Each structure stands twice: as C-alpha cells, then as structure tokens.
Chain A
Amino acid sequence: MKIDASSLRGELLRAHPALDVRSEAEELLAYSYDGTAALQQVPGVLVFARSTEQVSEVLLFASNRGIPVVTRGSGTGLSGGSLPTPGCILLCLSQMNRILELDPANLTLLAEAGAITAEIAEAASHAGLFYPPDPGSMKISTIGGNVAENSGGLRGLKYGVTRNYVMGLEVVLPDGEVIWTGNKCVKDVAGYSLRDLFIGSEGTLGVITKVLLKLIPPPAARKTMLAVYDDMENAARTVSAIISAKIIPCTLEFLDRVTINCVEDYASIGLPRDAEALLLIESDGHPAAVEEEAAAMKEIALAHGASSVETASTQEQAAGLAAARRTAFSALARVGPTTILEDATVPRDRLPEMVRHIQDVAERHQLRIGTFGHMGDGNLHPTFLTNEKDEEQMHRVEVAMKEIFAKAVELGGTITGEHGVGVAKKAFLPGAIGELNVEVMRRMKRSFDPRGILNPGKIFDLSPAS
C-alpha cells in the first residue's frame, strides 16, 4: 500500500508539481474515516486542493487513468459519503475555506466549498442577516459537504434545508471541466436547473468548489418552551394541532423516554424520568407574532395532554430549556463505545406509530435505542447505543435497522431525511424508492461520469446485482 501511495504521489507531482500531495502512512490513516461508526478504508493518496484549478487538475488526472476520487470537507458525514474507496485519491477541500463575498444588496454570500458552515452563519449575522440551516455538525462541517448531502438541521420545518438556500454552484466535472450553475437572481428558468442535480448528489456527479448562498433577514424575537408528556401520542397530536392551527414554529423537537433518562444520567437537568416525551418548541419572528404564537402553542399543548409547559423569559432560561435537546446526542454517546445515529423519516402524522415501532424493535432485539429528533417534520433520529467490537450485537443492530427502515418506507417515509445514503444505507435504497428510480439515477450517473470515477460505490452501484 505504501509503495503504491508513493508512486501515485510521484505521478501526480510530475503532472502537476504545485499540488499538495501526501502519501505518508500516518496521514493516510487519519483520512481513512468520516463520522460514520465502524467504517474505515485507507485512501490511495491524499491531496489538499487549494483552488478550483487544482481540483480540475486532479480530476483530469484521475479521469485519464481511471483512478477513483473521493471528496472530503471535514469528514463529519454520517453515512460514509467521504469514506475513501480502495486506491482512491482522497481530495480534501478543507484548505479552500474562504468566504469570498457577502452581498448585502442581493442578500447573497459566496464561499469556497471548504468554508465552515458556522463561520458562514456568523458572517451573515455580523452583516445583520441570517443563514438558517443549522445541521448539528455546523461548527465543523463545511458548506460543500452540507450541499453534497443536502443537510438539514433543527430549523428545517420553518426554514427549509440547505437546498433551499443554494442559489448557485461552481462544480468541477469528472474530466476537469468547470461549470457554474445558477446566479444571484431570485427567478431564473434558463435551461435545466443543474445546481439542483448536484445538491444532495453526495460527491458522485461533480466536485463542488464554490457555493452561492441566499441569506434572509433575521427574526426579531424568539420564544422557547418545554412541554412534558406522559404519552408520546399526545406529543404527536400536539404537533399536528399546532400545524393545523397554521402555526409553523421555528423548532419542534422531541426526546423519547430512553433519551430523557440518558440526559438525566449525564447532565441532571431535572427532567422527569418517567415522562414519555419532551417537546422543545421555539417560535421566532416579529415580537408580536412570537407572543401570540407562543401563547397559542402553550394552550394547544396543555389541551392535548401536556402535563406541564415551561416558558423561558430570559435568553439564559431559554438556553436552559433547550439544553435537554442539545445535550441529547452527548448524553446518548456516553452510554457505550459506539453510537450509531440514524435518521429515518416519516410523514408527520405517522410519527407516534414510528416511535412505538422503534421501541418494539429495541425490545425484541434486546438493544438500547434512544429516539429524539425533529417532530415537526417527522425526521427521527433513532440512536443505537452499542459496541462495534461486539459482533453479535452488531448483527442484531443490522437486523433492527432493516426493520426500522422497512417500517419507515411502509408508512410513506424515507430511510434518510438528512444524513444521506453513502455506503451505510446503500442496501436499503432500492427497497425504499424502487428499482426504477435507482435505474434512472444510474442513467444520470453514467452520463455525468462515464468512467465512474467520482465516489464510486456510494448511494448505489452502477450494476444492479452487487
């Protein structure tokens, strides 16, 4: 392996002496994983690209020789999207991280793909504007990664996801050609919307090098509430009732009983351990609207069986109430050495059924699964608390996952709301969307990437039987 890496490095440097190419065993090892548990593969060689031109050089080189290319930002993905493939060029864009322009007149922000999402949000905030998508990894994930996976976040229900904020992309195609798709216009229907194809394509159709984002005015006020329920159904009914009342809150998050208890074990916030569900509700917008909405939602919650509803009156208190939801992942991660976070999603009204199914699956397979997530949009995070070194348990985890995904699809939902298919959910994709859908995707892939060098083996395989 080491010999191959060195000679590949040598070849790359002969063709493009200015490229930053690494082949040392330790470095390649550091790039052999992303955020997904139990997946590891050392790349063939590592390249840090510092410009679109360099990305183009690498892709042309790879295309000519049929060498696979896997793109990576910070490597925090949860489905193996930036997991290397054997012998690949791992193309890391973390050094292409500048915010290039913030246009306050057109409300746009242009950034290199390696720019950290939290820094983009901060830049927007400094300019008195707002970039809403807030994936849990935003302090470290890159905008390029977010676009490639179409990342979501807690604000999804009201504000939408990453896709809704991408106005334009600079993309390098597999043979090194650079295209720009989209612009600063609010409306544009000139030709196919190519940028929409690249969003969520998980690095399989092109390498995103620049992102043009839409910014919006920030909400003037925000109000935070925490509602406690003895019955998950009531929590779900509350959510339905809130939407029926034509209120779209900024945040509508829930935690199940397993999660509540893990949070209490970890942070001793004072949550009731016997509660079946907690709802974190946040309303934002014009102050008068926020007051009205918050009051209405409190009434709805109480009318639908909430045993208590606490409203924060200061920012500090709000942080305190939100703490339960924010520490959920940490609390769950403390339980065992391996934490597998999934994101099966169902239509909002099927949520209680889905949660009950997950609890049932956990019991039957003797697994510990904590579920929390975005109740407002049906995006659940069933989280397996396990140990990857326990092969027997991992087998049961696999079976359990199959059952959960099957149920989600049965209820009209999806196997992944935010995290992407990558490698982790590839096997479940045909069952979830149907063979014809996958076949149409293959046709697209073949036409964009005839040599099949971009992130091969991710989302689906080129030939059905594998």
Chain B
Amino acid sequence: MHCGMCLPTCPTYDVTKNEKHSPRGRIALMRAIADDKLELSRAFGEEMSYCLGCLACETACPAGVDYAHLFEVARSDVERSGVMASPTRSTVHSLVLRGLFTRPRLLRLVGRLLWLFQASGAQSLVRALGLTRLLPGRLRELEPQTPRVLPRFSHELIRPVETPKEAKRYRVGLLTGCVQDLLFADINRDTADVLLSNGCEVVTPAVQSCCGSLHAHNGEAETACTLARRMIDQFDPFTSDAIITNAAGCGSHLKTYGRLLAGDPAYAERAAEWDRKIKDINEWLVEIGFRPPEAPAGHGHQEVREVTYHEACHLCHGQKITKQPRQILKSIPGVKLVELKESNWCCGSAGVYNITQPETALILQKRKIGHIGASGAAIVATCNPGCHLQLANGLEQSGSNIRVIQPVTLLAQAYKN
C-alpha cells in the first residue's frame, strides 16, 4: 500500500518535498531493487544515508509497515554491495565500528585518554592555539562539538551487585552502554538509584560491550549479531526479571535481538526471552508501579518547575513509549510539564547522523532548539544520550540557559531530597 501518510511526518521530505527522500519513496526503491527492476547504485546508498532512521513513518503508517527492519536490511545491502566504498569509509568501519566499538576495554581507554586531554587543559590549549586547523575537513568541523568525558565511568560508580534497602521485589540487569558509559555515567548511577529505591536488586557487570545498535543501523549486520550474542551471554534473560536500558537509541535495537538471532540454534531461545525482558527504564518504572517522590527535584531557587519534554525518536516511534516518561516527570512535586511543539520530530542526532549528514542535522537541531526556547521551560528532558548531546550543543550555541536533564535523573534527585 502506498497511501503516503508517512510523507508529512518525514523530516527529509519536509525539507525537500521530494518523494525520493520519503519513506514511501525509499520503500519503492527497495522494492524495485528486490524485484530486479533497479540496480543497487550509489544513488540508493546515498539515499539510505540521507534517511535519518527516525521511524516517524512507522508511527504514521496505517498499515504497520516495519520500516526499521527494511532500513537495516537496506543499509546492510548497501554496505555489502560496496557502492559507497571509499578509503575513509572502510577505515572508519573497520577501525571504529568493528575495531573500537567491539572492544569495551579499548573504548574505555580511549575515553580515559580523551578525559585526560580535556581535564588537563590540553584541549583548551589546542583550541586556543588554533591547532585544530590541522585536522582533516570533517573532523575539524566536528571538533567543537566533542562531548565532555566524565572523570569516572559506570564501573567506578556502580558496584556489580547492589541490593535495595527495603524488601527486594525484582532482580534486574543494568546496561551501561558505550557512549552513555563514557559521557553520562552519572545517569547510569541515577538509574541504579531509582531502581534501588523501587525494590530492585541491580546487577551491573563492570565491563559491558556496545549493544550493536550503532552497527545494525550502519550496515554492519554481522558485527551486530556478534555483539548481540555477547550481550545475551553476559545477561542471562532467564534469571532476570528485567534488563534495563536508559538509552532510547539502544533500547529500540535491543528489542530486536530475537529476530536477529532467530536462526542461531544456540541463542534463539534466549534471544526470544531477551526481547521479553529488555525494558526501557521509564517503561519498567511504570510497569512495576514506581513510588511517587514526596519531595521536589533540586533545591530552593534551583527547584525544578517548568519542564518540557523532547521525545527521542527511538523511544516514541521505535518503542512506542510516550506516556511513561511524562508520567514520571509529572509525578515529581512542583514539576509543571509543558508540552513541546513537534515534540516527536527528530532533533538531528540520529545516531551518527550529525557526523554523516551535518547540514541536515543542523537544520533539524535549529528547528528543535527554536521550539524548546519558545516553550518557556527552564529544563528540557530527554531519554537518549545522542539527543542529550544534540540539544545541549544546540542550546549552548544559541546562548540559552536551558538545561538538558533526563527524567530518571530528576526522579533520582527527588528521591534524594
């Protein structure tokens, strides 16, 4: 069916008004290639790169087309066909995607070095001296957006097993992520705290690998499967009540392990169980009936009042989780939730999109920052590290004082008070 209801929700169609850059158009291309009516060419590869993978089309589609799956397969086919091959691309894919992001200890080392570079003042010096001009084109443009690495990573903040003070109701695994671990380990700590405050025993292995979302979304299907297997080995779904993720972008992919490994007899059963157990933190809290906090978040004049909410694409479209984060925000005394205009329109972060498609990412970022500014809120809440960075960067660039905080952090603060 090609009714076209996806078109008005597609950010790339909105910008170009060109059917080629719409979900309906992309699917038509995929279908033509599958039917041998069209060759898989560079034009197709570029088109699939241009697609954000935001899945707004899935939400709009009356017929329930599984665009996420089609998108992954298409990107994987593009990768295998080599139509987009270039020395840079091959290097990045082999060194970064297949090399770095499959080795958690190495990734941590790189993170640690970056922290050192930043904390020692070296980064400021390099920038002040204009040495970043020595970087190749794209890296030079992106350099100012380099996120701040925190001094301590998740394994230094969270013990492998933490038990709640009151009666234990559940036993859950906590995923610390890759990017999340390096940049937002404090949010992982907040997640653990919130779980503990709700009767959950939290199991957090010290060394965890990337979940493979990055790989699945960028055409590295085999590596994605390898990482899925590793995850399942590390977190036995049969002995946990739930396995918690606090990164929307990952959560969406994590819930597809069942399909990913359905053909592997050694993992199929566990992968199916994994799908049932994997939960976004907001989803889980509402499911178990979280304890509403009695105190507000923040202190005195820093008390959190007007909050607006940006919906991470992979949470609202990819996982259909829309009510729960709002419920959590509204449960905090003093919080007034202001609805954000186009709250579910992509912010442009889209995984590595602001590296691969910086112009479009910027257009989307500006649009989002505009709405956040107009909302009148002092805080914008979101549930994904990618979005978090994109919003924080955008707000800083626009000279705004609005802060970006995740709902689970606000809840943790409220519990502490």
Chain A contact residues, CB within 8 Å of chain B: 24-27, 29-35, 37, 48, 74-76, 92, 94-95, 97, 114, 116, 118, 137, 139-140, 329-330, 333-334, 337-339
Q: Does the CB pair A33–B28 fall under 8 Å? A: yes
Contact assessment for B8 and A140 in the assembled complex, using a CB-CB cutoff below 8 Å: yes
Residues in chain A near residue B4, CB distance under 8 A: 35, 74-76, 137, 140
Q: Output the nearest chain A residue to B47 by Cβ-Cβ distance.
A: A26
A333 with B19: CB separation less than 8 A: no
Instruction: Kindly state the separation between the CA atoms of A115 and B200 in the bound complex, as whole angstroms.
Output: 54
Known: A26-B47, A33-B2. A339 touches B28 (CB 8 A): no
Contact B62 A329 (CB under 8 A): yes
Do B8 and A25 touch (CB < 8 A)? no
A26 touches B63 (CB 8 A): no
Q: Are A339 and B1 in contact (CB under 8 A)?
A: yes
Please choose the segment from B36-44, B202-210, B248-256, B321-329 that sits at the chain A interface, where 4 or more of its residues have CB less than 8 A away: B36-44
Cβ contacts under 8 Å, B28 to chain A: 29-30, 32-33
Does B19 lie within 8 Å of A30, measured CB to CB?
A: yes
Does B7 sit at the interface, judged by CB under 8 A? Answer: yes
| Cβ–Cβ < 8 Å partners of B17 in chain A | 94-95, 97, 114
| Residue interface bits B288-306, CB-to-A below 8 A is 1, else 0 | 0000000000000000000
Chain A residues positioned under 8 Å from B358 (CB to CB): none
Q: Which residue in chain A gives the minimum CB-CB distance to B9?
A: A139
Kindly provide the distance from the CB of B69 to the nearest chain A CB, expressed in whole angstroms.
15
- Chain B contacts with A in 362-404, Cβ cutoff 8 A: none
**Among A75, A97, A118, A338, which residue has its beta carbon within 8 angstroms of that of B19?**
A75
Report the minimal beta-carbon distance from B374 to chain A, rounded to whole angstroms: 16
Q: Which residues of B contact A94 (CB under 8 A)?
A: 17-19
Contacts of A339 on B, CB cut-off 8 Å? 1, 63
Q: For chain B residues 19-49, which have a beta carbon within 8 Å of chain A? A: 19-20, 22, 25, 28-29, 32, 37-39, 41, 43-44, 47
Residues of B within 8 A of A139 (CB): 5, 8
- Taken together as a complex, chains A and B put the C-alpha atoms of A32 and B22 apart, in Å, by 14
13 contacts between A and B (CB under 8 A): A24-B43, A25-B38, A26-B20, A30-B19, A30-B25, A30-B29, A34-B2, A35-B3, A75-B19, A118-B8, A333-B63, A337-B1, A338-B1
User: Is B64 an interface residue, CB under 8 A from the partner?
Assistant: yes
A residues in contact with B44, CB < 8 Å? 26
Residue of B nearest to A327 (CB): B62
Provide the bound-state CA to CA distance between A329 and B61, in Å.
Answer: 11
Interface residues on B, range: 20 to 34
Q: Which residues of chain A are within 8 angstroms of B25 by Cβ–Cβ distance?
A: 30
Chain A residues, CB < 8 A from B41 = 25-26
Selected contact of B63 from candidates A29, A31, A334, CB within 8 Å: A334
A140 touches B1 (CB 8 A): no
- Inter-chain CA distance A334–B29, complex, in Å, is 22
Query: Given the complex of chains A and B, what is the CA–CA distance between A319 and B86 in angstroms?
Result: 52
B323 vs chain A, min Cβ distance (A): 14
Give, as a whole number of angstroms, the nearest-CB distance from B6 to chain A: 9
Say yes or no: B19 contacts A31, CB within 8 Å: yes
Whether the Cβ atoms of B7 and A333 lie closer than 8 Å is no
Q: Complex: how many Å from CA A115 to CA B64? A: 27
CB < 8 Å: which of A26, A31, A74, A97 contacts B38? A26
Q: Can you list the 4 inter-chain pairs with the closest CB atoms, starting with the nearest? A: A330-B62, A30-B25, A333-B63, A30-B20
Q: Are A76 and B8 in contact (CB under 8 A)?
A: no
Q: A74-B4, A95-B17, A140-B8 are in contact. List 13 more A-B contacts (CB 8 A).
A: A25-B41, A26-B38, A26-B43, A27-B43, A30-B28, A35-B2, A37-B1, A37-B2, A116-B8, A137-B4, A330-B63, A333-B64, A339-B1
Give the one of A37, A76, A338 with max B CB within 10 A. Answer: A76
- Among A25, A30, A74, A329, the most chain B Cβ lie within 10 Å of the Cβ of A30
How many Å from the CB of B46 to the closest CB on chain A?
Answer: 9
Chain B positions within 8 Å of A329 at CB level: 62
> Which residues in B have their C-beta under 8 angstroms from that of A31?
19
User: What B residues does A29 contact at CB under 8 A?
Assistant: 28-29, 32, 37-38
Q: Complex: how many Å from CA A37 to CA B8?
A: 20
Nearest-neighbour CB distance to chain B for A384, whole angstroms, equals 12
Q: Is the CB of A76 within 8 A of B3?
A: yes
Interface residues of B in 193-235 (CB under 8 A from A): none
In the complex, the chain A residue whose C-beta lies closest to that of B32 is A29
Bound CA–CA A35/B37 (angstroms):
20
A29 CA / B17 CA spacing, docked (Å): 16
